[in-house]
Amino acid sequence: MASLVFSSSSSSSLISRSSLTSRNNESRCRFPARVSVRCQLTEPLKFENGKPCIPVLNDQTMPGFFSLRQDKVQNNDTRLRIFSGTANPSLSQEIACYMGLDLGKIKIKRFADGEIYVQLQESVRGCDVYLVQPTCPPANENLMELLIMIDACRRASAKNITAVIPYFGYARADRKTQGRESIAAKLVANLITEAGANRVLACDLHSGQSMGYFDIPVDHVYGQPVILDYLASKTICSNDLVVVSPDVGGVARARAFAKKLSDAPLAIVDKRRHGHNVAEVMNLIGDVRGKVAVMVDDMIDTAGTIAKGAALLHQEGAREVYACSTHAVFSPPAIERLSSGLFQEVIITNTIPVSEKNYFPQLTVLSVANLLGETIWRVHDDCSGTFDHYSSLGID
C-alpha cells in the first residue's frame, strides 16, 4: 500500500522570512524570538518553455548557495507546528522555509481499498498546529485527508488547529441557483468545523459569503497582490492598461485590481452560461481598442470563459491580452485553450500544484508562500492580518 512520510529537513535547507515591517508589540509577544537564516540567490530561477528550472539545493551541488548568519540555526522552541498533506507538499515546504521552520513529521498512507491513514510522528500536545492542505483535484480525496489530519491533531491534544486551505474546493456551490440544489460550500464548512478545526486560513475564496458558512474564525487573504507586484515589474505603460472582468460576477474583484494598477479603466465581458463549465460570450462593455487587456479571475477551470473572453477582446482591437488568476484548476481542455495563442502571458499562483505536462511557454507561476507564511506568523502572534507589502484589495 502506498504511503508518504514527511520528515524535517536539515538546517541547510531553511530560508528565513523577510523583514517586512517592524513589530511594535514584539516586546509583548508571548513567544521567544525566532531564529532566522538569510538566503542569497546567486541568480534568479529561470523558465524554459513554461517549465521552471529549479536548482537542486544541497551542499554538494550548490556550495555557498545559502549565506547563513554566524549564529547556528537551532530548533525553533515555539509551540508552532506546520504539517503538510499530500495535495501540495512543495507549497508547504516553501511556507516552512520562509518561516525558518521544519515541516512536522507525519505519516499519510492509503490502504488497498482507498481508505486514508494518518499518524503524527511527533508530539503536538499544547501546540498551535497549522495543516496545509488545499482541497484541489481530486477534491474528495484531499478533503477527506484534511478532515482525518484535523481529527488526528485533535486526538493528540493540540491546543489550536488551523486548517490552511490555499484553495477551497466546492466554493462555487455557495448558493442555490435552481430548485432542489445543495449548498456544498456550507456542508464542507460544517465538516471542517466538526472535525475539530479552531480556525481556517483561506486564500481567494470564490465569494466572500463563504466565510459566513464557518462557525469558527476565518482569515481570508488575497493572492492578487502577488500578481500585482509581478505586473508592476513589467514595462507596460499605465495609459495602455485596461482591466477586464470575464463576467459580471467578478466586477468587484476586477475593480479593486484596476484601482491598484494606477486606477486603470475597467471593461466587462457579458456572458450567458448554458450549463456547468459551458459559457457563451455575448458582448463587451468598455473600450479595449489598442490597449493591453489584463483579464482577472479567481480561478481558471476549463478556461472556457477566459478563452472566449480573450477572443472577443482581440476582435474588439486589444493589442495584447494577459490572463491573471490565483487558482489554476486546469481541467481539460484548459491547457489547449490557454496555449492557443490568445494570451501574451498566463499568470497564476501555486495554490494548486501544476503538473509538468501542463506547462506551456506562456505560463508564469508565482508563489504565495511568503504571503501565507507571514499570515501564519501574525495569526500565531495575535497580530493584525494586514500588512503593507501584501495589502488587502478591499473587496469584502
Q: What is the pLDDT of residues 4-37, one digit of tens each?
A: 554 444 433 333 444 434 444 443 444 344 443 3
Other CB atoms within 10 A of residue 6 CB: 22
Share of the chain above pLDDT 90, in %: 66
Distances (CA, A) of 64 to 10, 45, 52, 67: 15, 16, 22, 6
Q: In whole angstroms, give the CA distance from residue 295 to residue 161.
A: 36
Instruction: Give me 374's grid cell.
Output: 507571514
Average pLDDT over residues 91-107: 97
Per-residue pLDDT, 328:
97
Question: Among 53-67, 299-313, 352-366, where is mean pLDDT lowest?
Answer: 53-67
Given CA atoms 271, 274, 275, 281 in this order, what sign does their dihedral have? negative
Helix locations, the chain, DSSP H: 89-98, 139-155, 184-195, 224-232, 251-260, 304-315, 334-338, 369-380
Structure-model confidence comparison of residues 48 and 312, the more confident one: 312
Q: Between 153 and 60, where is the model more confident?
A: 153
Strands 218-221 and 363-366: what pairing?
unpaired
- So what's the pLDDT on residue 385? 53
Q: Is residue 107 predicted with pLDDT exceeding 60?
A: yes
Residues 155-166 have a mean pLDDT of 98
Quickly state the pLDDT bin for 376 (edges 50, 70, 90). Answer: very high
Residue 278: pLDDT band by 50, 70, 90 thresholds? low
Do the Cβ atoms of 128 and 24 come closer than 8 Å? Answer: no
Q: Quick one: average pLDDT of 149-163? A: 98
Is it true that 3-21+31-222+370-380 and 225-367 share their CATH fold? yes
Instruction: Sheet with 116-120: list strands edge to edge.
Output: 3-6, 106-110, 116-120
| pLDDT surpasses 50 at 247 | yes
- 298: helix, strand or coil: strand
Domain residue spans in the chain? 3-21+31-222+370-380, 225-367
Instruction: Tell me the pairing of strands 80-84 and 278-285.
Output: unpaired
Tell me if residue 186 falls in helix, strand or coil: helix
Total residues belonging to the chain: 396
pLDDT given for residue 74 in this prediction: 41
The CATH classification number of 3-21+31-222+370-380 equals 3.40.50.2020
Average pLDDT over residues 268-289: 79
* pLDDT beyond 90 at 158: yes
pLDDT beyond 60 at 136: yes
Rounded CA gap, 215 and 62, in Å? 48
pLDDT-above-70 percentage for the chain: 75
- The CATH number of the structural domain formed by 225-367 is 3.40.50.2020
Predicted pLDDT at 237:
87
The pLDDT of residue 101 is 95
Q: What is the pTM of this model?
A: 0.78
| CA nearest neighbour of 139 among 109, 110, 165 | 165
Tell me the sheet residues that pair with 322.
Answer: 294, 345
- pLDDT of 211-245, one tens digit each? 999 999 999 999 989 999 999 898 888 889 999 99
CB atoms within 10 A of CB 306: 30
Least confident range of 38-52, 285-299, 363-377 = 38-52
DSSP 325-370: EEEE---TTHHHHHTSSS-SEEEEETTS---GGG--TTEEEE--HH
Distance CA 303, CA 305 (A): 6
Tell me the average pLDDT of the chain. 82
Is the pLDDT at 155 greater than 90? The verdict is yes
The yes-or-no verdict on residue 119 having pLDDT over 60 is: yes
